[in-house]
Amino acid sequence: MLTERHLEIFIALAEEEHFGTAAQRVGITQPPLSQGLRRLETLLGVRLFERERGVSLTEEGELLLPHARRALAAITELRESGAREQADGRRLRIGLTPEVPAWLAADVAAAPVRAGAPVRAGAPVRAGAPVRIGVAMAPTTTLLSDIAAGRLDLAVVRHPAVLHGLAAGQVVRLPTWTLTPADYAEDTLAAVLRELPVAVRARGEAPAAHDLFVDTLASRGRRVKTVVVSDERAGLALVAAGQAVLVTADDSLAATGVVRRETTDPPLPLRLRVAWDPRRRGSPDCAETARLLADTLSGGPAVAG
């Protein structure tokens, strides 16, 4: 395995052209330096130095040197960046499914900053240090993949969802409204749904949650028709055009020619959970922050359901 120490030994020897001086520069004795060089040459399968008359780079060594310098510089920069983050606070990367209303998404992103929440690095933020927030909006399946890959620390995702080893907090249920064309204002919701399709996002974005939504409608004996839209604004446009119905948790979503109805028969709450990877360093802090985000979503302690 190529290590930072291998790079340090190689660069020091290339620049000093003397084993003793290079060892002193790296802070080790000459025998470990020679052993490290041999391991590096074995790892790469090439000879890096000529040793017959002094110490000089081979052709392969000349080719490696600029790459080694760039790699070592990148490692140093990364370490210094981490040190600055350690001193200045922590960076928390949060993902949000687009179904979360904009005002609520903003509250969720701001909650760790206001609370000075501990985050993924495995140690609390020092008193008074800011928590820097990175926010990503993406479908549930993408958010879960990003958590597993380490690109996100936590994410608010739709429930139910296949977690594949990730952890998730309690389910938060947000009330929803059904938006229908004004021409159907006098009709019952059941009658509207017999005439118009329901605007939904693509099933692949959250398969289990999509199926639960459709099955809940179908359980009441309603003929379920759907039309796929890219987002709720596109769905609202179809409603305004008299071509669809939209179920949304965003109480600010409105347009001329659109009627808002409370969704109670059947109830179709937006079910959300905060997910994180318990296998990653700092997961206890993520669990604590997840509870904070869930409380922010629900306006109080999260409830299962």
Compute the half-sphere exposure of residue 138: CA atoms within 13 Å on the CB side of its CA. Answer: 17
Tell me the pLDDT tens digit for each residue of 242-267: 999 999 999 999 999 999 999 887 88
Domain architecture of the chain: domains with CATH? 4-86 (1.10.10.10), 90-172+271-298 (3.40.190.10), 176-268 (3.40.190.10)
pLDDT of 230? 92
pTM of the predicted model as reported, rounded to 2 decimal places = 0.67
Task: Check whether the bond before 267 is cis (ω within 30° of 0).
Answer: no
- The crossing angle, in degrees rounded to 10, of helices 19-26 and 4-16 is 140
Residue 122's pLDDT band, with cuts at 50, 70 and 90, is very low
Averaged confidence pLDDT in the chain: 86
Residues with Cβ within 8 Å of 115's Cβ and at least 6 positions away in sequence, in order, are 292
Tell me the pLDDT tens digit for each residue of 186-229: 898 888 988 999 999 999 999 999 999 999 988 766 678 999 99
pLDDT higher than 80, residue 82: no
Do residues 277 and 192 touch, judged by C-beta distance below 8 A? no
Tell me the pLDDT tens digit for each residue of 266-289: 889 999 999 999 987 666 678 889
